[in-house]
Structure 1
Amino acid sequence: MQSGLLLLAAAAATLGLAGCSGGASAPAEKKTEFSIGWSIYAGWMPWPYAQQAGIVKKWEDKYHLKIKIVQVNDYVESINQYTAGKLDGVTLANMDALTIPAAGGKDTTAVILGDYSNGNDGVLLKGATNLSAIKGRSVNLVELSVSHYLLARALEKGGMTMTDVKTVNTADADIVGAFASPDVTAAVAWNPQLSVMRAQPGVTQVFSSADIPGEILDLLVVDSATLKANPDLGKALAGIWYDTVQLMMKQDASGKAARAAMAKLAGAAPETFDSQLKTTFLYTDPKAAVAAAQSPALVTTMTRVRDFSFAKGLFKGATSADAVGMAFPGGKTLGDAQHVTLRFDDSYMKLAADGKL
């Protein structure tokens, strides 16, 4: 899956924790025009398709809004634009929501739990079929990304630690070529690169995000103050999402056409896009998404993510992993309750589940 690059550390360092505020950010004005950023990844293709297919317009008209779905070619740049206030919302992974906008003091609310990686991220070895063979190897990956997190979890489950391997920072654009070298015998990557690398002779996938279901989450987040001032935006976004994903997962001609259109928007062949969807657990049912948001497992996951992020220095200036506060449905908080900058809000998904949008 798409995830943060090394640049996220620079973003967090630039913004720092000094900007964290207690509670929601400064009041935002009520407005009618909004921009939502996205980048190419199977789980986010419903957004541009919804605009193309007129689904966005349907919900714009219902709530008298204008919502521009904006493509940003570089994933980290899309998050940086959101953090800088150039976008009202953006698609991103849970770890990156925490380490870039939230750690930088931008009060951010996740309004849609879109999917989780269910095999889109994997650990690959050459000349071995068991994870234990990774010990002592150099592992190419995008450091400080969810690939790094996945490796840490794989090692933990295999009774090892990060000290048992050496990581080699490799950009996502370069990792396929690097892995083709005989000298590189271990790597962690996300799709579509993962599938290309896995197809090389003598390569075995020894661990994947399917082994830690629900931990690598893909979200749609919105600036908290903007959402508070404009709750209809949250309703419209929920309506757009569930209309679109329920259509795309139909096994009839309409569903096939929607997926083919998304594949084209992603620059992929329909069969390639469909294979990526098989390793992406989409929350097409709002009831399931609400249950996931309310589950204690989400708190457990975000505890792991924030502990990893803090250990890797992604909370610039922080003296503990508690520096960045997070809020969950039901009033549960994690970290500094006086400095909450990442919120998981199930209310809009619940409206969709209850048919009240």
Structure 2
Amino acid sequence: MKFRSLVSLGAVFLFSLFVTVSCAAQEQTTTNSASPTTAPIQMGFSAWPGWIPWQVSQEEKLFAKNNTQVELKWFDGYLDSINALTAGQLDANCQTLNDTISSVAAGADQVIVLVNDNSTGNDKIIVREGINTIADLKGKKVAAEEGTVDHFLLLQGLKTAGLTQADIDFQPLETGAAAAAFASGQIDAVGVFAPFTTQALKRAGSKELFSSKDFPGSIPDHLVVSRKMINERSQDVQALVNTWFATLDFIAANPEQAYQTMAQRAGVSVADYKQYNTGTKIFTIEENLKAFSPGKDMSSLSFAAQEISKFLVDAKLAKQAPDLSKIFDDRFVKAYAAAKKG
């Protein structure tokens, strides 16, 4: 769930078909006079409204103000950033809960330390003219990036109408390619996230059928770090968390400046970027603390993780459910909250 454009969204949709982990990352870096003994944190992010604020962190030098050194790396292809973290090319990355669980199921040792946001409408199932109900999707060509949150959203929606993936002609396409295919009339429906939703909705007669707002709490987005990062540089993990909340404070105090920065990074107009606000719920420190607490619905990360793990196994996207006992570490948000109170 992220924004990925150095030039324009249209270019992203074409370019993202060819990127690889080694060349897809179009870097923007901040070097804060790294010490001889401590290398800058390699941190990835990509095209999603809940992660774009990190661009503000960079441009306003908020990493340095929170005593850490970061090379912030932009990925045009979201899955490339996940692969880079798994391969050890990154120390930290911005990922969904769904994709983090997939990585852990495949053997990665990754830890969620911060909730950036919940998707509350910016993940959408968009359909062509003539499709008016979920039941109308039966037999239709529907595209989404397999194993991602939009695939998860699609299956949740189908379930409400008594349908499964077997009832549609599922087209597993990378998100940018899926949006482009839908916009050009090649498929009947598509599951995509903002800002790719903007591109998909350019198709004449297209409309939203349902979105993440209809499934509250099912798509949380996070800052994820490697276990090695926590073990060897826990003070820098704390600095990243502190920087995130400092960034939110900066955006609240300087909204127009911040929106310019974020819209430029997203490759959309400021007006378009502001429209994404209602579709992304940025989490406060209090909401972070609540999310990390045990619960019996999707607002609790531990509960959501169990539900998503079941989905991955049932959809045969994971061979077996991963060990979720070590996937969350709330000590950093707790430390930030304690420092604010003190």
Q: Which TM-score band applies after superposition, normalised by the shorter structure?
A: 0.7 to 0.9
1:245 to 240, 248, 262: 248
CA-to-aligned-CA distance 1:148-188 (integer Å, 9 cap, x gap) = 11111001223322222220123323223322455632222
Maintained 8 Å contact 2:42/2:71? yes
- Inter-partner Cα distance in structure 2 for 1:52 and 1:113: 22
Of stretches 217-226 and 167-176 in structure 1, the one that deviates more from structure 2 is 167-176
Matched, 1:294 2:284: no
C-alpha deviation, 1:56, in angstroms: 0.8
Q: Relative to structure 1, is the Cα distance of residues 209 and 237 closer, same or farther in structure 2, using a 3 angstrom cutoff?
A: same
- Which contiguous aligned blocks of 4+ residues in structure 1 show a shift greater than 4 angstroms? none
Question: Which residue number in structure 1 is paired with residue 271 of structure 2?
Answer: 271
Question: Which residue number in structure 2 is paired with residue 38 of structure 1?
Answer: 45
Matched, 1:124 2:126: yes
C-alpha deviation, 1:31, in angstroms: 5.1
- Inter-partner Cα distance in structure 2 for 1:308 and 1:299: 15
Question: Which residue number in structure 2 is paired with residue 52 of structure 1?
Answer: 59
Question: Which residue number in structure 2 is paired with residue 353 of structure 1?
Answer: 337
C-alpha deviation, 1:304, in angstroms: 2.2
Maintained 8 Å contact 2:195/2:266? no
C-alpha deviation, 1:199, in angstroms: 4.3
**TM-score, normalised relative to structure 2:** 0.82
Maintained 8 Å contact 1:129/1:204? no
1:139-218 to 2 correspondences below 5 Å: 139-182=142-185, 184-218=187-221
Maintained 8 Å contact 1:43/1:277? no
1:85-96 to 2 correspondences below 5 Å: 85-96=88-99
- Inter-partner Cα distance in structure 1 for 2:52 and 2:115: 14
Structure 2 residues not aligned, in runs of 5+: 4-16, 22-36
Question: Which residue number in structure 2 is paired with residue 103 of structure 1?
Answer: 105
C-alpha deviation, 1:233, in angstroms: 1.4
C-alpha deviation, 1:265, in angstroms: 2.2
- Inter-partner Cα distance in structure 1 for 2:118 and 2:87: 26
- SS at 2:197 equivalent: helix
C-alpha deviation, 1:325, in angstroms: 0.4
CA-to-aligned-CA distance 1:289-347 (integer Å, 9 cap, x gap) = 110121423233212211222233333xx4x32xx1012xxxxxxxxxxxx5xx11122
**TM-score, normalised relative to structure 1:** 0.78
- Inter-partner Cα distance in structure 2 for 1:227 and 1:184: 44
- Cα RMSD of the aligned pairs, angstroms, is 2.5
Equivalent pairs counted in the alignment come to: 306
- Inter-partner Cα distance in structure 1 for 2:185 and 2:176: 19
- Inter-partner Cα distance in structure 1 for 2:127 and 2:46: 29
1:278-357 to 2 correspondences below 5 Å: 278-283=278-283, 285-296=284-295, 297=297, 298-315=301-318, 318=319, 320-321=320-321, 324-327=322-325, 340=326, 343-355=327-339
Question: Which residue number in structure 2 is paired with residue 255 of structure 1?
Answer: 255
Query: Letter of the aligned partner of 2:277 in structure 1?
Result: L
- Inter-partner Cα distance in structure 2 for 1:50 and 1:2: 16
